[in-house]
Structure formats: C-alpha cells, structure tokens
C-alpha cells in the first residue's frame, strides 16, 4: 500500500502532494513501483495534529481519488469521516482505511457496512492531539489485541461483514517507541485474531529513535528512514502481514517479496526447514 498524503502537515511528506495533479502522478508512480493499492489521505494524523473540516478533507481527497481511479489504480481512502468514506467509495475507492477503527465518527461503521468494501480497523485510543498521553498499557500486546477485538465487535454489530475486515495495530498511535517494537514482535497474537493484518511503520518515530545520531542523539530525519522501513516490511511479510503501508514503495515491494518467500519456506508443511533437516526427513 503506497501512501499519498494530500496534506500540508503530514510528518514526512506534508505539502509535497497538495496539488491534485502532482498527487495523482505520484500515486501512479507508486503503482509502477509495485504498489497494489494507493492510500489517499486528506487529514494529517501526526501526533499533535488538530482536525480539519469535512469540506476541506473532501476538497483535498476527491480529485485525487478520481484521478487515480481514472488512471487504473486501486485506491483506498484514509479517513475517519463517514461522509468522506462514502464520497470516496462513490468516486471509485475500493477500501476504507479508518485510523480510528470506527471510533471517531459514530456513522462510520454503518457507512462502511453499506459501502460493501473492505474496512481497515486500526487500534485507536483517541485523537492525534491527545494520543501521546494515552500510551500507558499494563501489557501492550495483550491490551492492544483485546481493545482491537472490541473495536472489531463494534463494527460487526453495526453491520460490517467480518470477511471484509482488516486489522492494524496502529504503530505510533498512542504507543511509545517500546510499544511499537512490542507490537511488531507480537504480530502472531494479532494474526491469531483471524483477520488480515496491515502494518504501518513507514518512517515512524520509533525508527527515527532507533537510528539516532550516535554523537548528538538526534533522531534520524524522516526522509532517511526508508531502508529501515523496508526492513520492517520484510519482517512483517515473513510474519504473515497482509500488507504494509509505506511511502517508499520500490524498496518495500522487494522487501515484501523477500519476507513472503521466507514465509513460504518456513510454513511449508507446517514445519520449519531446519527442524526437517535435523530430523533427517
């Protein structure tokens, strides 16, 4: 899943794709680099960001969705608003990606149900301007899986077909750096929920901290986190992720192939190849 943020203020690509023509051209480039889906978002969710109006979000997103669909791309819409999701699906979007997993807009789950397209339910505890204060967990893996399961139950109760649900741990959303690593390490617990898993690690803070300058301690700038992002993509694919949401598609498309090839070998016949070799079979 390639990212096209049509925003002035996203943390790593804010302002780059505000012009609809440039946004569409960029999205089509990401398709040429190997993206199966282009995720179009009009509202920044970076920590501390405040909301924009629904009208402004529609104004940013719709021309880009239309242009990408006309160019043959499969498009998902990254929105917390039912009205934007509905309009984007009418314009040809084939997936709704709601970082609040149905919690921010009480009309979203019903809109997703009626749309009939797949719906990403991301783990979410609160809006971007409050989420850094909501990152306390007794056991981050268990708590996120339990809370996500509750979000899934709520959207299913509102009519969303469970066969169309995708779950996402929401890296960086009400999680601190250690929490993000714990959740990546605990992907098996997420896949055990029985839904496809989407992972959004691209250029996020936990990578910037990991790669901090050894002398100054300054986090690695967002634009220089793509190799680390691709490493996460390979690991996520090897652990059975359904998709990774990334800015730099070319590197992650290769990385996903590497991780998937490894997974095929490791899961063949349900045995790890080294175990098979050791038992002489």
Binding site for ligand PMM (CB under 6 A): 3, 5, 10-12, 41, 45-46, 78, 97, 99, 120, 122, 168, 170-171, 198, 200, 202, 245
| Placement of tokens 């993206």 in the chain | 35
Distance CA 169, CA 254 (A): 23
* Catalytic-labelled residue, pool 164, 204, 205, 225: 204
Which CB atom, from 223 or from 272, has the smaller least distance to ligand PMM?
223
Q: Which residue number places its CB atom closest to ligand PMM?
A: 200
Task: Output the smallest distance, CB 170 to ligand PMM, in A.
Answer: 6
CB 160 within 8 A of CB 112: yes
The full length of the chain comes to 281
On the CB side of 179, CA atoms within 13 Å amount to 23
Task: Output the smallest distance, CB 211 to ligand PMM, in A.
Answer: 17
Which CB atom, from 119 or from 137, has the smaller least distance to ligand PMM?
119
Task: Output the smallest distance, CB 158 to ligand PMM, in A.
Answer: 19
> Is 177 labeled as catalytic in the residue annotation?
no
> Is 245 labeled as catalytic in the residue annotation?
yes
Which CB atom, from 118 or from 200, has the smaller least distance to ligand PMM?
200
* Strands lying side by side in the sheet with 75-78: 2-5, 38-41, 75-78, 95-98, 119-122, 165-168
* Catalytic-labelled residue, pool 60, 86, 225, 245: 245
**What ranges in 212-248 are assigned the alpha helix state H?**
226-238
CA dihedral of residues 174, 178, 181, 187 (deg, nearest 10): -60
CB 27 within 8 A of CB 64: yes
Which CB atom, from 6 or from 87, has the smaller least distance to ligand PMM?
6
Task: Output the smallest distance, CB 49 to ligand PMM, in A.
Answer: 9
Q: Which residues are catalytic?
A: 204, 245
């Amino acid at each position: 899943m390639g990212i096209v943020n049509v925003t002035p203020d996203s943390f790593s690509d804010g302002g780059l794709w505000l012009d609809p023509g440039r946004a569409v051209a960029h999205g089509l480039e990401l398709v040429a680099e190997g993206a199966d889906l282009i995720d179009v978002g009009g509202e920044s969710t970076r920590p501390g960001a405040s909301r924009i109006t629904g009208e402004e979000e529609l104004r940013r997103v719709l021309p880009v969705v239309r242009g990408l669909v006309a160019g043959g791309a499969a498009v998902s819409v990254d929105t917390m608003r039912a009205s934007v999701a509905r309009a984007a699906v009418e314009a040809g979007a084939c997936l709704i990606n709601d970082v609040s997993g149905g919690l921010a807009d009480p009309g979203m789950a019903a809109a997703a149900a009626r749309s009939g397209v797949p719906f990403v339910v991301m783990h979410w505890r609160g809006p971007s301007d409050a989420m850094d204060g909501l990152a306390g967990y007794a056991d981050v893996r268990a708590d996120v899986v339990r809370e996500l399961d509750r979000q899934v139950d709520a959207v299913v109760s509102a009519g969303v077909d469970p066969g169309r649900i995708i779950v996402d741990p929401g890296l960086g959303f009400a999680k601190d750096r250690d929490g993000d690593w714990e959740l990546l390490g605990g992907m098996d617990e997420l896949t055990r929920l029985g839904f496809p898993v989407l992972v959004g690690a691209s250029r996020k803070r936990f990578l910037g901290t990991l790669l901090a300058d050894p002398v100054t301690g300054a986090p690695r700038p967002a634009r220089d986190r793509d190799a680390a992002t691709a490493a996460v993509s390979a690991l996520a694919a090897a652990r059975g992720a359904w998709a990774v949401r990334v800015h730099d598609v070319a590197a992650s498309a290769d990385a996903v192939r590497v991780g998937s090839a490894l997974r095929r070998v490791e899961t063949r016949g349900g045995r790890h190849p080294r175990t098979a070799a050791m038992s002489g079979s």
